[in-house]
Amino acid sequence: MKVGIIPINIGAASGDQMVQLAQLAESLGYESAWTFEHVIVPLDYASKYPYNATGKMGAAPETPFVDPLIALTAIAAATKTLRLGTGVNILSQVNPIYMAKQAASLDFISNGRFMLGVGIGWLKEEFEALGVPFEKRGARFDDYVEGMRKIWSGEVVEHQSEFINWSGFKSYPLPVQNPFPVVMGGVQGKIFHRIAKYGNGWFAPEGNPETLAGHLKSLQATCDEHGRSMSDIEITCMWNGKGGRASIEALEAVGVHRVVVPLAGGASPVEHLQSVAEVAIG
């Protein structure tokens, strides 16, 4: 089982602290470091956060959210083997050419260690602040992924749609990895259809083996519909670091390939990383 940490980019007192924590994770044998993303945190919002019963995310507006791609670039320069993932960036609210360029560049400078995790987004107030329509964000997401893959192909890009009008250009460098891993996060809506059609991985925002088993059965059925092999899709889920090896083995038994441990584990981040490593990594 691969073991990662999340979120490496939130709440750090300094850039040095963030990088040092990533270096410690690498030295302890962690496989990857992941980020969360919000460009802004509204003082109040009507949108409902889907992964907490309160409908609110657990971050005050003053919480430092270092931009994920900038944070992972700094970490890439200071590490050798640690894989780097966004868990997830909100694709539907950004320019897809910039996202394709930045993702390819980060994979290039990290020698093929980057995984682009993307999601549709839930915070309408953030879309509004960025001047991007909240409506049709699912269709925009699908179109953006399809268009970005054309950019990463190295071929002349031709893509005309409701959301994109691209013609007659190339964008280099290309990602080192081929195919470049696009990981899709969430459990709602058409997520399994999107993974089956466009994704290389699923980032599940939970870690209950029984619940995941049901979701993975649905994903398998959807992959069958699209003629896609489940072996092409890497499964990542959140894990709270509790339950010892037995809990990891239970997740592995239902088909999980990687667990990602929240850094907010009650103790200091350093102590938490060390104690989890003793159990999960050895």
CA angle 55, 12, 107 (to 5 degrees): 90
Q: Give me the pLDDT at residue 29, please.
A: 98
Which pLDDT band, with edges at 50, 70 and 90, does 266 fall under?
low
Average pLDDT of the chain, as a whole number: 96
Q: Delineate the domains of the chain, giving CATH numbers in brackets.
A: 2-193+229-237+254-280 (3.20.20.30)
Q: Give me the pLDDT at residue 242, please.
A: 85
271 has pLDDT over 70: yes
- Tokens at residue 95, please? 């320019």
The per-residue DSSP string of 49-117 comes to PTTSTTSS-S--TTS-B--HHHHHHHHHHH-SS-EEEES-EEGGGS-HHHHHHHHHHHHHHTTS-EEEE
133 has pLDDT over 70: yes
265 has pLDDT over 70: no
pTM for this structure?
0.96
Which pLDDT band, with edges at 50, 70 and 90, does 3 fall under?
very high
- Tokens at residue 146, please? 């399809």
Cβ atoms 145, 182 nearer than 8 A: yes
Rounded mean pLDDT, 143-147: 98
Q: Which residue has the higher pLDDT, 211 or 268?
A: 211
pLDDT tens by residue, 201-259: 999 988 999 999 999 999 999 999 999 999 999 999 999 888 889 999 999 999 999 99
* Run of H or E including 21: helix 15-28
Q: Give me the pLDDT at residue 102, please.
A: 98
67 has pLDDT over 90: yes
3-state secondary structure of 14: coil
Q: Give me the pLDDT at residue 267, please.
A: 67
Rounded mean pLDDT, 86-104: 98
282 has pLDDT over 80: no
From the list 258, 281, 282, the residue with the least C-alpha distance to 6 is 258
Separation CA 168–CA 185 (nearest Å): 32
**116 beta partners:** 182
| Helix-then-strand count for the chain, H and E | 9, 11
